[in-house]
Structure 1
Amino acid sequence: LLEAGVPDEDLLVITTGASTYEQLAATARELAARDADRVVLVSDPYHSVRLHGIADEVGLEAVVSPTSGGASLRQLARETAAVALGRVLGYRRVDTWLGSRG
C-alpha cells in the first residue's frame, strides 16, 4: 500500500487477536478511539464475504478489497459454512465456538 502511495499515517496494522473476529474487534476499538469507523480491508477473495459480515457486526464501515489468487476446495467449504453460521448465529458466537481457528 505504501508503494501505491497510501500515506503511512493512513495505515493501521492490528497485530492483536487470534482470529479474524478478534482482529476486527480490536480494529473497531482502535478506530473508535480515533473517532473513525471507515476501513478498507484487504484479504483473500474467498474470505471477503465473512470479513465484510464481521466488520459490520463490530461496527466498521468496510470496503473489502480482495487480493489476487484462488482458494482450495477446503477453504471454500470452510468459508461457506462460517458465513452461513455467522449470518444465523452471529459472527461473535461462531468465533467463540471456533476459538482461534476463525
Structure 2
Amino acid sequence: MMDRDISPVKRNPPGKFVGVRQKLIIINFYKNLMFEQQNIEESKKMKYKDIIKTISKTSGVGQRTVGSTLAEYKTKGTISSPNKKKEEDSDRKIRRFWPKRH
C-alpha cells in the first residue's frame, strides 16, 4: 500500500544548474551509502561507479553532475553554489548590436 504513495523521481533537465540544496542531497545520499557500506564485507561493497549510478537514480541528477559534486566535496570539503553573475557591459553591447543589423 505504501508503494502507491511514492511519487516518481523528477529528473533534473539537462543544462539546468544544480543548486546548493540539490548538492547537499547528493552528499547526504553519499554519506548514507558509505555508512551502510562500512559493515559489509569487501567483496560485497559497491564500486564507486555503482554508488554514483545509485545516487543519480534516487536524486534525479545526472551521473556526471553527481561525480563532479562528490569530487568537489572530497577535495574542498565544501560545495559551492552555481555562478549566477550578470553579463559584462561589453558583452551586452555586442549582443544588442547584432539583432539591429538587417
Q: Say which structure is richer in strand.
A: 1
Greater RCO (Cα-Cα under 8 Å, separation 6 or more)? 2
Larger Rg belongs to: 2
* Alignment TM-score, normalising by the size of structure 2: 0.32
Q: Say which structure is richer in helix.
A: 2
